């Protein structure tokens, strides 16, 4: 049996997926990224490979593809593919009915439209700015001195929404601190932050050409409060890949592994 690997080296998390010849996911790993993308990729791959019976080291993978910002630093990878193409393919594998993605990663937001074969039809990407990214949420949760999960849950309890006007992470943090200082309800501020990011996602989704439904990928897909806010702002159904048995944070690595499987089998 041959095995195929995909390694997505993101700015905050490094993810790895291994598929067998039939495309079944036989192992996956998610670790916090280190400052050196090569070390992150190596550790994630070693962890992932050790979970598969029949292979002992990275070199035993029949084909390996790197993706994510550190895609060209994945050790022993045959090639690298952009995370835009990989997220599209990953989601296509997880749920072929999905035609548009909002990928909220650690340092960027992307809107991606998927073609019928899992390739990219169109995409839009944010500027070099942390607005609306995982970093933005981390910063906001830090301002509240709570975890990201607590932040998400807090926003779901709000009866009203206090709009956050600043999109810049730095300015938004000071705005939030001011609102907290004024004694405004914390859950309403949190809901305002979710709304601000949802609006950012609206722009990306529309630019990419989302029509009737979207799915969320990347680490922020686990933020239930954001999912609700996006549904409200976009007026589009948000398909949850958890319902298909997949972790949305793994979509880049899954897409890379699927490309590796296709290329490895045709090689």
Residue of 103, 108, 175, 188 interacting with another protein (CB under 8 A): 108
Residue of 36, 56, 119, 157 interacting with another protein (CB under 8 A): 119
Number of Cα atoms under 13 Å in the Cβ half of residue 46: 7
Quick check: 170 binds another protein (CB under 8 A)?
A: no
What are the start-end ranges of the H helices in the chain? 37-50, 83-94, 134-144, 148-156, 169-181, 186-208, 224-234, 251-266
49 or 77: CB nearest another protein: 77
Quick check: 84 binds another protein (CB under 8 A)?
A: yes
Residue 209 buriedness (CB in 10 A; 0-12 / 13-18 / 19+): middle
Quick check: 151 binds another protein (CB under 8 A)?
A: no
d(CA 7, CA 4): 10
36 or 50: CB nearest another protein: 36
Residues 6+ apart with CB under 8 A from 145: none
Residue of 31, 39, 52, 125 interacting with another protein (CB under 8 A): 125
Residue of 43, 82, 139, 153 interacting with another protein (CB under 8 A): 82
d(CA 155, CA 129): 24
Quick check: 40 binds another protein (CB under 8 A)?
A: no
32 or 128: CB nearest another protein: 128
Quick check: 131 binds another protein (CB under 8 A)?
A: no
Stretch that binds another protein, among 75-83, 142-150, 195-203, 231-239 (CB under 8 A): 75-83
The torsion defined by the Cα of 202, 205, 209 and 215, in degrees rounded to 10, comes to: -130
7 or 84: CB nearest another protein: 84
The closest alpha carbon to 218, from 234, 230, 232, belongs to: 230
Number of Cα atoms under 13 Å in the Cβ half of residue 204: 27
Nearest approach, Cβ of 182 to another protein (angstroms)?
29
Nearest approach, Cβ of 122 to another protein (angstroms)?
9
58 or 120: CB nearest another protein: 120
Residues interacting with another protein, by CB under 8 A?
Answer: 69, 81-85, 108, 117, 119-121, 123, 125, 127-128
């Amino acid at each position: 049996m041959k095995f195929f690997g995909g390694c997505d080296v993101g700015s905050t998390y490094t993810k790895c997926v291994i598929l067998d010849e039939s495309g079944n996911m036989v192992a996956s790993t998610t670790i916090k990224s280190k400052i050196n993308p090569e070390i992150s990729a190596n550790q994630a791959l070693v962890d992932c490979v050790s979970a598969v019976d029949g292979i002992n080291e990275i070199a035993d993978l029949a084909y390996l593809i790197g993706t994510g910002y550190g895609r060209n630093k994945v050790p022993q990878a045959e090639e690298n593919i952009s995370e835009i193409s990989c997220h599209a393919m990953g989601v296509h594998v997880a749920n072929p009915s999905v035609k548009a993605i909002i990928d909220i990663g650690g340092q960027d937001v992307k809107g991606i439209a998927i073609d019928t074969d899992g390739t990219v039809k169109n995409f839009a990407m944010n500027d070099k700015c942390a607005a609306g990214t995982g970093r933005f949420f981390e910063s906001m949760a830090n301002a509240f001195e709570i975890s990201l999960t607590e932040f998400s849950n807090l926003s779901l309890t709000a009866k009203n929404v206090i709009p956050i006007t600043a999109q810049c992470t730095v300015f938004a943090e000071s705005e939030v601190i001011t609102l907290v200082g004024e004694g405004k309800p914390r859950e309403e501020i949190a809901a305002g932050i979710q709304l601000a990011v949802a609006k950012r996602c609206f722009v990306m989704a529309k630019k990419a050409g989302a029509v009737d439904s979207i799915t969320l990928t990347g680490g922020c897909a686990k933020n239930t409060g954001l999912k609700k806010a996006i549904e409200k702002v976009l007026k589009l159904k948000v398909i949850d890949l958890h319902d298909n048995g997949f972790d949305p944070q793994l979509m880049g690595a899954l897409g890379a592994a699927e490309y590796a499987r296709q290329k490895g089998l045709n090689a």
